[in-house]
Structure 1
Amino acid sequence: MARYYDICEQGDVLLALSDKELGALLRAVIQYRRGLPVGELPYNVRCVFAGEKTRIDSDAAHRRQVSESRRSAIRQRWDRSNEYNSIQMNTNVNKCKKLPPLSTPITVPPDFPPTGENTPPKGLSLGTSPRKAAKKFVKPSVTEVKSYCLERGNSVNAEDFCNFYEAKGWVVGKAPMKDWKAAVRTWESKSRQDSKGQDFREIERMPL
């Protein structure tokens, strides 16, 4: 309300209206600003509303003028930017030097690609080197561990070994196990150092 009714200028006029007339004036102002139709108003309200309507129209015209001025400035900046980019592109094109045509055309021999000693093996292309495929770890069975322990002649319990790593998900520390035979040899080494036995957690932390 402070935007539409200046107490210093229109205070006497507003005070002369009843509460009902003030409410009707406020409703009419809101409806007009939103583009809604304004109904029939009492005479006193209609007189005050006429002045407010003129003020609203003047403010709207001023806003349209400012908006159009800003749009015009943006269009001018956009046109200047496009003109500058066009000049830069033309300058870069002019700077590019065309390569002279080849005096002798390049011909491909009919037996290309080469065959014989220089031909790369299947699955490989020129300029590449063969890569060893990563060997997938397969967890051993108790029988395999026991057979390997008998082969090495150690005292590692195959069932304890398998149960221990099965419970841990066959990992060493936080990394997946790569060679279970290396883990058996680690257990073997620790069992020799301590014939009374060693904590499995201490053995497991040793690098393979």
Structure 2
Amino acid sequence: MPKDPAVLFYTSDFISGTLTMSDEDVGKYIRLLCLQHQKGHLTEKDMLYICSTYVEDVYEKFEIDADGLYYNKRMENETKKRKKYSESRRKNILNRYKQKGISAPTYVATHVLHMENENEDKKEGIVKGRKQTARPTIEDVKNYAGGVGLIIDAGAFIDHYESNGWKVGRAQMKDWRAAVRNWCRRNTKPQLTNAQKQTLASLKQFDERMKSDAGHI
């Protein structure tokens, strides 16, 4: 199986953990993390190759194992969780092919191309395993509405749902196309025929004459 080319990277945690480091030391640190991800635990030579000399702010980010090799504990944990999840996905895909009685493509047997964020860590504000519905652009809304014969102010639609976090009532929006249709039902006035318009105009004139006559009694 080829080396996994990626790992989950938590930008907020990284920024807070390197806030007091110089830009140069941050560069050394991120390169060492990448090297560990691809190579495994690092030798003193690996550390010095990138750092040139002992850099306390960088070295303190790494622990030393029983063999005297350096490793960042967070990177190691994330790498293991990624590997575990990818292997689980690979097995599930292979089982589906097996149930259908067909051979799986080579890439499925060797590497899982896509990984969703199902990290085992509990993060505030993240619901584990929940996918967020893709949000449409103004062009998406215009194109969909035009395709089904609806008239909509796409900008107003986008602004409204951006402002409330893409919620319908208290629930997260599941289908923006359905929301477009409901929006049009609520905000689009029905198109009247010429006969209906004439009738409404006659009724309005009649009401005005009644009001005028009442004023003279």
> TM-score, normalized by length of structure 1?
0.29
TM-score, reference length from structure 2: 0.28
